[in-house]
Structure 1
Amino acid sequence: MDKLLSSWSSTVESLPENYVFPVDSRSGDATVPICNTLPVIDLTTTLSHDRQDAVQQILEACQDFGFFQVINHGIDDDLVSDTMRVVKEFFDMPNEDKAGVYSEDSSKKCRLYTSTYDYENEEIHLWRDNLRHHCHPIDDFIHLWPEKPARYRDVVGKYSLEMGKLSSRILEIICEGLGLGHGYFGIGVTRAQLFSANHYPPCPSPSLALGLPKHCDANLITFLLQDEIYGLQVYRNGEWVGVEPIPNAFVVILGHQAQVISNGKLTSPEHRAITNSTDNRTSIVYSINPMPDSLIEPAKVLINDSNPPVYRAFQFKEFLKAYEVKKDYNEGALVEFKIKA
């Protein structure tokens, strides 16, 4: 427990050396502009006569950016706000109340830890604490979730059910845009669903540290809920741009598996989380992942003589093994799965 940032970060005046990133990967002192042209999709338009326009907007966002923010998504604002509150309450609790879920065993289905799953072998630590647990099917995992705050399981349980519905809805729209069959993203590639909450305490030297380094997501798709504190940046066209938090909106981020299944039509964007010196920042990630034995390959309907497969077929567990062994969490993670011309 003494490794948790929340245990000691408020007592230090300078950043420990093992949290200082190399010059070429840290956020630095340069101001990254907030980008006002990043796509924001009003999901109510998918229920109207403008549905085809909305489907096209989402497809173009997935092709050009690899992510978008979604508003009017159908999840009650009070539930979204309450979930953020209860997560913040969890991180604000004394260590003795969090001890029951703290673990350095990465195989646990629910655990609180700091930095990454491999803390002991890291040269540089991330400036974050993380609570992560499986949440689908809920009845299989809810007994493992934190018992405190007392309402955590109830609130996060309701939130997880709604996020499962929203993810299915968004994936179906992407299927429609790509011309894939109804329900193409079936249970094999969407069953493993994870709830992950990041806590980024104030950092004494934000320009030297990172909450999360530049990376692409290894999964199929991510739904990110930000609080009001800015901290998400996306790498686009050779430069970093800031993603302004929109109250109760979700940032939808495509993962490597979506890029493979679309045969490269969709992109998995590089992004990172920066730190700041004054405010706690909290973000909540709902991650949709294939099952380990799921076969991932370009959708056959997208393959023809003029559009040959870019990637070979593989099981998701093979990808994860390569992802962790190479420790290349960006576009390089897909290199060995590409078909050589």
Structure 2
Amino acid sequence: MAVDEEIPTIDYFALFSADPSQCSTAMERLSIACEHYGFFNLVNHGIADGVMEGAVRGVSDFVGQTAVEEKSKYREAHPGAKILWDSNCHAGENREYLKLVARPQFHCPPNPPSFRYMYFFENNSYIVKLVKKRKNKTVI
């Protein structure tokens, strides 16, 4: 992704629109975002801005403030891993990723404490509510 390119934005409600044209356009944008960028910004999903900001802040704190030794506890992948972290350098870019299992029980590193803010997602079941709201629609 070039520096001047914007992160693709996908409208959650357009994906489930009753208007076939709008739904088709949204699906095409989602497909392009996944194929060409590997990520996208989802809007109109119903999750409060404060919750999203807290989650992003928590992940940023984990990546930026947690010692490598602490993060390395989650480097080993094994069949039952509930938390997985790793980093690598590709084409001069440092990359880190973090995988968390959220169902049926939320798993989260204990440090930094701000990272546990993501637990808010589990307690309030935002994602589950969104899925249930649209359970009769299929995105695939």
> TM class by shorter-chain length?
0.5 to 0.7
Give the letter for the 2:121 counterpart.
Y
In the alignment, the residues of structure 2 paired with residue 137 and residue 62 of structure 1 have an alpha-carbon distance, to the nearest angstrom, of 29
Structure with greater strand share of residues:
1
Deviation at 1:94, TM superposition (A): 4.1
In the alignment, the residues of structure 1 paired with residue 93 and residue 103 of structure 2 have an alpha-carbon distance, to the nearest angstrom, of 28
SS in 2 for 1:112: strand
Give the letter for the 1:133 counterpart.
L
Quick one: structure 1 residues 39 and 57, their matched pair in 2 at CA, closer, same or farther if it must change by over 3 Å? farther
Choose from 51, 57, 61 the match for 2:26: 61
The answer to whether the aligner puts 1:110 opposite 2:83 as a matched pair is yes
Choose from 83, 90, 101 the match for 2:73: 101
The answer to whether the aligner puts 1:165 opposite 2:137 as a matched pair is no
Matches within 5 A, 1:1-341: 34=5, 40-41=10-11, 43=13, 52-53=18-19, 56-63=21-28, 65-66=30-31, 70-95=42-67, 98-99=70-71, 101-107=73-79, 108-115=81-88, 127-138=94-105, 141-142=106-107, 145-153=108-116, 155-160=117-122, 161-169=125-133, 172-174=136-138, 258=140
Quick one: structure 1 residues 39 and 147, their matched pair in 2 at CA, closer, same or farther if it must change by over 3 Å? closer
In the alignment, the residues of structure 2 paired with residue 99 and residue 61 of structure 1 have an alpha-carbon distance, to the nearest angstrom, of 37
In the alignment, the residues of structure 2 paired with residue 157 and residue 73 of structure 1 have an alpha-carbon distance, to the nearest angstrom, of 18
In structure 2, list runs of 5 or more residues that go unmatched.
34-39
SS in 1 for 2:113: coil
Deviation at 1:85, TM superposition (A): 0.4
Give the letter for the 2:118 counterpart.
V
Quick one: structure 1 residues 115 and 163, their matched pair in 2 at CA, closer, same or farther if it must change by over 3 Å? farther
Give the letter for the 1:132 counterpart.
K
CA contact (8 A) 1:97 1:148 kept: no
Structure with greater helix share of residues:
2
CA contact (8 A) 1:101 1:146 kept: no
Deviation at 1:60, TM superposition (A): 3.2
Deviation digits for residues 261-293 of structure 1 (CA, Å, limit 9, x no counterpart):
xxxxxxxxxxxxxxxxxxxxxxxxxxxxxxxxx
CA contact (8 A) 1:111 1:133 kept: yes
Deviation at 1:32, TM superposition (A): 7.2
TM-score by length of 2: 0.63
Quick one: structure 1 residues 133 and 94, their matched pair in 2 at CA, closer, same or farther if it must change by over 3 Å? closer
TM-score by length of 1: 0.30
In the alignment, the residues of structure 2 paired with residue 167 and residue 159 of structure 1 have an alpha-carbon distance, to the nearest angstrom, of 13
